[in-house]
Amino acid sequence: MGTTGEVLLVCSGGGHLRQLAGLVERLGIAPDQQVWVTFRNALSESLLAGRKVVYAPFTAPRDGKNFAKIVAMTASVFRAHHFSAAISTGSSPAVAFLPQARLRGIPTHYIESAARADGPSMTGKIIARVPGIRTYTQYPVWADRKWNYRGSIFDEFESGPANPSPRTPRRAVVSVGTQEGYPFDAMLASVIPLVSGMDEVLFQTGDADVSAYGIDARASVPHAELKQAIADADVVISHAGVGAALTALEAGKHPILIPRSPERHEHIDGHQVQVARELARRGLATMRFPGTLTADDIVTASNSTVRTTTPPPFTLLASGG
């Protein structure tokens, strides 16, 4: 990246955080240069251990009260640090911090989430209106003079060979993420009967009521523990969040991704369909909807592999005027 001094890295949690944490290495930003602003949760505490972190109030979609709190904290962050650049992958903290960074003359960059295969998010549309902020897409299909393509977080992976000795999966991780206020009952109802005969299943079920299923479930799991469970599992079945997908891919797993539906009030929009579709296109995951997953799908996914590859550097543009 070629910058000296501290770099502001600002984003919300989950997939936004996982993407930015992965991209900083390709950007060449050393750990001692990084100053993070994000939400405090098990993922951020684990992933950013040893980094300088300022925790922002968790802000749900359309949560004006807590967004105002993030805006209020921007001044103190800029007073405490002399930033040579500011970079974000979204969501609400990006809207609070990036325009302020640009007003202060800081080279500022917004990288749209890999969840957005068809065009920018609402956050991206807002940021793109701010003069001088450089904007990037992770999909060449909608790159233009405003949205620059420099690569994707998924470039770090490629489909690997099938297991030479096919196996019957005995250990699974089933995860719906931790999106507050959006239980994913349809996925759980579809998946639980298919994994009930396995020897070991880690169920991470968010805020869904799973009392009727008779399973040993946990609302959330510390990131380090979940990462290890995925590494040890024969198969991973997950909602189609970018962060969840990246954790599985990094472990060499070919996950089964089940997108949340906004029509069933499982998320605010349909971006998870875009994530699952893109990873299926790359041969890195299997996409299924609740009720369509089969036992054969689980066996096939458990015998498929993913391997890491060396992606090109992610090169940022010179700051706009």
Tell me if 309 is assigned to some domain.
no
Tell me the backbone φ, ψ of residue 156, rounded to 5 degrees. Answer: -80, 0
* Residue of 260, 31, 247, 28 whose CA lies nearest to 157: 247
Point out which residues pair with 200 in neighbouring strands. Answer: 171
Q: What is the pLDDT along the chain (321 residues), one digit of tens a residue?
A: 555 689 999 999 988 999 999 999 899 999 999 999 999 988 899 889 999 999 999 988 778 999 999 999 999 999 999 999 999 999 999 999 999 999 999 999 999 999 898 899 999 999 999 999 999 999 999 999 999 999 999 999 999 999 888 889 999 999 998 777 778 999 999 999 999 999 999 999 988 889 899 999 999 888 889 999 999 999 999 999 998 999 999 999 999 999 998 777 777 776 899 899 999 999 999 999 999 999 999 999 999 999 999 998 899 998 654
Residues 230 and 287 in one domain: yes
Residue whose C-alpha is closest to residue 308's, from 246, 225, 227, 258: 246
Domain with 122, as residue range(s), is: 6-155
Strand partners, 110: 88, 135
Query: Is the residue at 310 inside a domain?
Result: no
- Phi, then psi, of 228 in degrees rounded to 5: -70, -40
In a domain, 317, yes or no: no
- Say if residue 181 is in the same domain as residue 297: yes
Q: What is the torsional sign of CA 316, 137, 12, 189? A: negative
Is 218 part of any domain? yes
192-207 pLDDT per residue, tens: 999 999 999 999 998 8
**Global pTM?**
0.83
175 shares its domain with 142: no
Q: State whether 17 and 120 are in the same domain.
A: yes
Q: Which of 155, 170, 188 marks a domain boundary?
A: 155
Q: What is the CATH number of the domain that holds 39?
A: 3.40.50.2000
pLDDT at 79: 97
* Residue-level pLDDT at 182: 76
Say if 1 falls within a structural domain.
no
End position of a domain, from candidates 111, 134, 155: 155
- Residues 93 and 37: their CA atoms lie apart, in Å, by 8
Q: Could you give the angle at the alpha carbon of 108 between the alpha carbons of 106 and 110, nearest 5°?
A: 165
Residue 320 falls within a domain, yes or no? Answer: no
Number of residues that make up the chain? 321
Determine, yes or no, domain membership for 312: no
Q: What is the DSSP track for 103-143?
A: HTT--EEEE--TT-SSS--HHHHHHHTSTT-EEEES-GGG-
Per the structure, the count of domains in the chain is 2
